Chains A and B, each alone.
Chain A
Amino acid sequence: MMNEAMITDGKCPDFEAQMKDLLAASRERLGCAAEDIGRGASIADWTSISRHLVATGDDNPLYTDFQHAVESWWCGPLAPPGFVLSILVPESVGALYQRPFDAVELLNRIDLWWNDHIRLGERVEAHAVLAAVEQGPLVRDRATVELTTRAAYCAGSLPVAAATGVVRVHPLWLGKELIADRTTHSYTSAEIAQIEAGLDAEPTARGPEPRWHSSVSVGDRLPSMVRGPVTWSEMLAWMVAEGRCAPAGNLRYQQLLGQPGKLRAHGATNWQFSERDKAREDALSCAEVGFPAPGTHPAMIVALASQMLTRWIGDDAFLRHLSVSLDLPVFYGDTLFMGGRVDRKFIQVIDGREYFAVSIEVWGHNQLEQRAFAGRAIVFLPEEGHPIQLPVQKEFRS
């Protein structure tokens, strides 16, 4: 079956009408299960956890070393907090794939709340619904659409985390326009030296020495973290870490027949049944779908931000919340320079227990000094005589 809707007549698309269509069609799915999101890990087995660790370059012994974890306050091996993104990424695109739209969908924001750790071997699952469909801000003088997904994560049937993700759909004349005026970055010798210095200077994770709440001051900086330049290895390892089914081409073709909005001719071969969300990862076809260079999966950036926090807080602490605004795509070849700063200290009382909390501002910019992401986190730190008790809330809901 050839899809006639894929054949363009050379006219600029009517973006306004398309976005109205998308709004209306997506609103028909409000409150429904977000079945367009690929499902990842269903068990927190070592293979799935290690794929996440490898993909994020996380060598924190709390997660990589079973004996180390056994000796920790948590009494056994854990998955890192970002592992929830290996179960499900809250990134429904609503009705975007139901018919061809001239647009690019980008994960714009993720808010995560954690209530407990996920432990090795636990059965895990996530339930996600399309929670909101709204007109977004004007970008390039064109109205965007924002689709909000809410997800709840369970481990061993108990709620452990919740997430909200917002996908922003940008109208874009595919094949004619790009989302950024960029090419793959070519580094100078000085830039390479700067990256190497950052990588060489990366401290080990804090480990078992507690980072007491009383020892932290507003203004304290987290050690900077350099991630990149991104190669295909990093992109691939993250795709594997997301744990989604990866069928061969004949079966992808069959699936695509039910998702006409996903179809796009491959830029290099003209094969009409390429997935446009996959084409963006391919140097031979990314320009056809609006990407000047292959793009990383945005959820990886969120996982890297959570890694920066867990390396700093130490084994006995707990990452409670992370909200990340993804301002720019991170392209193949880009390098992230990440940092964080303590901006508030406070005590939360939840279900009658005191938690010694710290709010942290996090950020990352690329090698062009463009802000790639910014966000805030809340971590619970131990205080002498007050180890952290989990789960945080007896009744935890997203």
Chain B
Amino acid sequence: MMHDNQFDAAIGEFLDRTRAMVDRESIEDLAPNMPVDGSGPAITRSLLRLDAETIRRYAATIGDDNPLFSDPVYGKRSPYRSQIAPGPVLVHARYPAEHGASRPFGYPLANFIGGVVWEFFDVIRPGMQISTSKTLREVLEPHSVRGTRIFLLVCEVTYYDASKKPLAKAYGTLVQVPMKNMGATRAMPIDALGDTLLYDRQPYRYSTDEMAGIIAGIEGEQRRGATPLYWEDVDVGDMLPAIHQPPYALPDALSYQSLHHGLVGGYNGGLLARSFTPAYRDHKAGVGFPDYSRVHPVTRWPYTPGDEHEDVHLCGYRGQPLPFDFGIQRAQIPQRLLGNWAGDHGFCRKMSMTMGRPLFHGDALVVQGRVIGKKQATETGSNTPHHAAVVAMEGFNQRGESVSRGFATMYLPTRAGGTPVLPAALSAAPGYVPYNVHRSHTWF
């Protein structure tokens, strides 16, 4: 069939062009007015302004009201001698995922964040100016449990301070799912909307008991704070106090966007055209990477932008029965689990979160953690010993379904050695850690 041929050809073209991007500096998610033809510098400045208020607001967007992140006076008394930011704030300096090749009106693939793995080398402080480099490293095609093809695009992002000293790295995995009902473009024809849904879901209705359980979880959240958790006092098998998020709703979708908007330029390098006439012009021209435009099933407006995460009328265009969360957001929330447990003296050296399934609007989240290992580690090129605890984490929705899993390496203080020495002594950013390594607990 011509339809199938067009679809297959589009997928083949996407793969060929995306594979050709491997090891080349990305032009995605640059600040406005940066060159998007690849002629820009390899390391580019971000517009993220790390002032005290922005850090406080960022911490709030991931549900963390630890005064270490919100109170400069408290921060001054901390081991870091200043307010600091939760490490994943760096997502706002550069989005740690790469969508691959683009073309007018796009390719017939539904895109989802598969996971984000972080390596932090130092704490993030007010006043830091962040520069970044992002490179697609791997294009993988694993066997899918559903019997359909899926592609994993794995990128490496390095975050630098103003002196080009590496502060952190992120390995982001973007899942691209070929969708036959999209035909040959990113947006499926309206008559195919709803034909192929990846899940069968209705908004979850909570009983009084269920709500009371969630509230107890929120109100019972424990934070260690300024009292050190010594490595010697940690045992394998220790459980971390769980963190709870109430049912995800539209204001949660705003949380991430409230900081990210404006930091990333448009598809052609200027301001992002998100609203009204400029957006209309882009969408009509087939611009609008990565989500493009589609016919609205109610208004029938043919240049409706890709609000498939948030809009109940549009989520079906990504094969979802309900609006769903941003994986990039869910990947940040577990740092609170780790920080609450380890206290202010602990340092998150590595953290990962892999998305198992969407968290739909109306779904609650509980994230649990357990210590699965203890070790002493030294960084490459350094003899300074670090005392680490390795933590396994898992997030569940209110149905008890696992929605995300991850691991973390926490450097902890010792009674003899005191607070972990920072920055982790690195002369340069370490090399790329491949997907099959950084997804394994043995790497942590």
Contact = CB atoms under 8 A, between A and B. Distances in A.
B402 to A, nearest CB: 20
A184 B362 contact: no
Interface in A31-66: 42, 45-48, 50-51, 53-57, 59, 64
Interface string B220-255: 010000000000000000000001111111111111
B261 A247 contact: no
A199 B280 contact: yes
Given A248-B61, A248-B245, A253 B215 contact: yes
B276 A56 contact: yes
A233 B274 contact: yes
A384 to B, nearest CB: 32
B249 A186 contact: no
A254 B49 CA distance: 27
Contacts of A238: 275
A248 B310 contact: no
B311 A232 contact: yes
A139 interface: no
Contacts of B300: 186-187, 192
A2 to B, nearest CB: 7
Interface string A271-303: 111110010011111000000000000000000
Contact of A231 (B208, B211, B243, B304): B304
Interface in B301-326: 301-302, 304-305, 307, 310-314, 323
Given A54-B273, A248-B63, A268-B203, A236 B296 contact: no
Contacts of B218: 250, 253-254
Given A244-B258, A253-B218, A281 B60 contact: no
Contacts, number: 201
A251 interface: yes
Contacts of B312: 283-284
Given A50-B262, A57-B279, A250-B221, A231 B311 contact: yes
Interface string A1-18: 110000000000000000
A324 interface: no
B361 interface: yes
A246 B304 CA distance: 25
A248 B333 CA distance: 10
A221 to B, nearest CB: 19
Interface residues of B, number: 69
B271 interface: yes
B252 A248 contact: yes
- Most chain-A CB neighbours within 10 Å: which of B53, B250, B361? B250
Contact of B275 (A54, A199, A272): A54
A16 to B, nearest CB: 32
B187 to A, nearest CB: 14
A305 B364 CA distance: 40
A222 interface: no
B342 interface: no
B399 interface: no
Given A54-B274, A187-B301, A199-B277, 20 more contacts: A54-B261, A54-B278, A55-B274, A57-B273, A64-B271, A185-B299, A186-B299, A199-B281, A232-B311, A233-B274, A233-B279, A234-B274, A237-B261, A246-B60, A246-B257, A246-B258, A246-B259, A247-B61, A274-B249, A282-B249
26 contacts: A46-B262, A47-B47, A47-B263, A57-B276, A59-B277, A186-B300, A199-B281, A231-B305, A232-B310, A240-B262, A246-B255, A248-B63, A249-B245, A249-B248, A249-B249, A250-B63, A251-B65, A252-B246, A266-B249, A278-B250, A278-B251, A283-B311, A283-B313, A284-B312, A333-B296, A333-B299
